[in-house]
Amino acid sequence: MGVAALVGTLVAVAAPGLSHADDAWPSKPISFVVPYAAGGFADTRMRLLARELADELKTSVVVENKAGAGGVIGTAFIAKSKPDGYTIGSGNLAPLSVNPTLMAKNVTYNVQKDLAPVILVEESPLILSVNNQVPVKTVKDLIELAKKDPGHLTFGSSGVGGAHHLSGELFASEAGLKLSHVPYKGGAPAATDLMAGHIDMMFEMGYAAMPAIQAKKVHPLAVTSAKRLALLPDVPTMAESGLPGFESYNWQGVIAPAGTPDAIIQKLNSAFNNILKKPEVQKAFEATGGQSAGGTPEEFAAFIQSETEKWAKVIKSANISVE
């Protein structure tokens, strides 16, 4: 048999085999990598989705936490894993759309080339609150107060480059303000100082902000979503407060290594879309101020790119650095 004929025979035999392998997926446990520590918000949310995915696909899904470097270590692990559908993971705002600009030297993967978006699962808007000593009732009042003494008002965050920080810088840019950023080592100490009056304002995740709001220890001015939150129906959006188009989310989705067969990506996407429609999942999201997303892999890829461009502009204009 000639070489060409032999190659043709091998291709003819191999192609159906590859197709059958995709059809048989999953035939063993799936590893679900979370690039953050166990017990945190991202981990808790992804463990919920992993349990639902196991039920949906009738297989075991094992969550592995690979934390460090703002999500970069775990995301790099996903990027370097075998693209066979048995390693997937959480794709988050920081490692996908912020850190490639903020800490480019530490990011060893190319988001567009090394990762395959599966689906955007949740957008978690933030709540802008002020301490009870700040004499404002609306965002308009806050802007007017800040303009009277540029640089005097402070805003806290969980650290440089996080959603809290970037939202504050976006606010300052959009409103034409000069605010002083006070970074903390985590959101909890920043929230404590907000309640104590040591900082003036903070953009905070809904699940973390609600206890203080409900206890009237801080005053919420606006939410960063396009629509009002069910948790705070009387609190306007930033857009309603005079900053049209203002949106900011700490979002998370699901990603896989680049090269994962499209048939498997589509099966995962379908499974997660089904999961996100479940009332108990939607209820869990809403309870923490989150919004379920969904959609196609292509839509998630476009979203990642748009978020990367948006936050790169903020990072550069505010001269944000982790050095």
Q: What is the CATH number of the domain that holds 160?
A: 3.40.190.10
Residue 173 placed within a domain = yes
CATH code at position 65: 3.40.190.150
Residue 18 placed within a domain = no
Domain boundary residue, one of 207, 223, 239: 223
Q: Are 275 and 54 in contact (CB under 8 A)?
A: no
Q: Which amino acid is at 71?
A: G
Domain match, 217 and 131 both: yes
Domain match, 142 and 279 both: no
Domain boundary residue, one of 206, 223, 240: 223
Query: Which single residue is written with the structure tokens 């970074």?
Result: 183
Q: Are 224 and 203 in contact (CB under 8 A)?
A: yes
pTM for this structure?
Answer: 0.89
Residue 16 placed within a domain = no
Pairing mode of beta strands 291-292, 61-65: unpaired
Cα–Cα distance for residue pair 186/168, rounded to 1 Å = 16
Cα–Cα nearest to 298, from 81, 128, 116, 108: 116
Total number of domains constituting the chain: 2
Residue range of the domain that includes 189 = 125-223
Domain match, 135 and 50 both: no
What value does the CA radius of gyration of the chain take, rounded to a whole number of Å? 22
Residue 270 placed within a domain = yes
Residue 244 placed within a domain = no
Cα–Cα distance for residue pair 189/148, rounded to 1 Å = 28
CB neighbour class for 110 (10 Å; exposed up to 12, middle 13-18, buried from 19):
exposed
Cα–Cα nearest to 128, from 95, 175, 96: 175
Domain match, 136 and 201 both: yes
> One digit per residue, pLDDT tens: the chain, 323 residues?
443 443 444 344 444 444 555 779 999 999 999 999 999 899 999 999 999 999 999 999 999 999 999 999 999 999 999 999 999 999 999 999 999 999 999 999 999 999 999 999 999 999 999 999 999 999 999 999 999 999 999 999 999 999 999 999 999 999 999 999 999 998 899 999 999 999 999 999 998 999 999 999 999 999 999 999 999 999 999 999 999 999 999 999 999 999 999 999 999 999 999 999 999 999 999 999 999 999 999 999 999 999 999 999 999 999 998 86
Maximum separation of any 2 CA atoms in the chain, in Å: 88
